[in-house]
């Protein structure tokens, strides 16, 4: 089992799309094992987006990500990091394929609705930034035997 840190960004919260996006992950059979609505601070933004801090678009990204609440989740599943990034589509909503979350709901490079970890190392770092260990539940939904075979 793998874990990913998923953020429904301020544009997603403001556009009242949280329910529809959460449903996509639930419908896929992925497990939400932590969830929290919070306001990202400039300090958290710099830690989260450390690799982008020196890039020209970073000031706008910080203003955007701190501009309204975000919904942070930890989602667990088989190969979940790749699976979720494929569900999101390309970074820019203008380039993301139809049928992906960004392809269906976003027409922007910055306001692309959802962030998801891009590697196990990033997931561990990002989960630690948004959640205390006790907030991440050890939870196996009772439907699990109907969502995958025991040896998968």
Determine the 3-state secondary structure of 75 from DSSP. strand
Single out the residue of 31, 106, 112, 117 in contact with ligand CMP (rule: CB under 6 A).
112
Q: Are 75 and 127 in contact (CB under 8 A)?
A: no
Single out the residue of 15, 28, 82, 109 in contact with ligand CMP (rule: CB under 6 A).
109
Matching residue, tokens 């958290």: 44
Instruction: Give the total of residues touching ligand CMP (CB under 6 A).
Output: 8
**Identity of the residue, 33 or 65, whose beta carbon is nearer to ligand CMP in the bound complex:** 65
Rounded to a whole number, what is the distance in angstroms from the first to the last CA of the chain?
Answer: 10
State the nearest-atom distance from the C-beta of 12 to ligand CMP, in Å: 11
Torsion, CA 130, CA 51, CA 100, CA 136, rounded to 10: -20
* Whether 115 is catalytic: yes
**Identity of the residue, 31 or 112, whose beta carbon is nearer to ligand CMP in the bound complex:** 112
Q: Which of 21, 115, 116, 123 is catalytic?
A: 115
Which of the residues 69 through 98 are near ligand CMP (CB under 6 A)? 91
**Pair of tokens at residue 122:** 């990033």
Widest CA span in the chain:
48
Nearest partner of 40 among 102, 126, 125, 112, judged by Cα: 126
Single out the residue of 115, 117, 127, 130 in contact with ligand CMP (rule: CB under 6 A).
115
> 37-54 burial, b for 16+ CB within 10 Å, e for fewer?
eeebeeebbeebbeeeee
State the nearest-atom distance from the C-beta of 43 to ligand CMP, in Å: 17
Which of the residues 40 through 69 are near ligand CMP (CB under 6 A)? 52, 57, 61
Answer yes or no whether residue 15 interacts with ligand CMP by CB under 6 A: no
Task: Please give the positions annotated as active site.
Answer: 115
- Site residues, ligand CMP (CB under 6 A): 52, 57, 61, 91, 109-110, 112, 115
């Amino acid at each position: 089992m793998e874990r990913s840190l998923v953020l429904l960004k301020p544009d997603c919260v403001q556009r009242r799309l949280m329910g529809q996006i959460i449903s996509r992950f639930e419908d896929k059979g992925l497990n939400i094992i932590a969830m929290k609505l919070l306001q990202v601070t400039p300090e958290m933004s710099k830690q989260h987006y450390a690799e982008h801090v020196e890039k020209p678009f970073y000031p706008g990204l910080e203003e955007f990500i701190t501009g309204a609440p975000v919904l942070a989740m930890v989602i667990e599943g088989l190969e979940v990091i790749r699976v979720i990034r494929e569900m999101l589509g390309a970074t820019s909503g203008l380039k993301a394929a139809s049928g992906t979350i960004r392809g269906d709901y976003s027409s922007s490079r910055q306001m692309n609705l959802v962030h998801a970890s891009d590697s196990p190392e990033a997931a561990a770092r990002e989960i630690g930034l948004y959640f205390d260990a006790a907030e991440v539940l050890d939870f196996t939904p009772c439907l699990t035997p109907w969502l995958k075979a025991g040896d998968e």
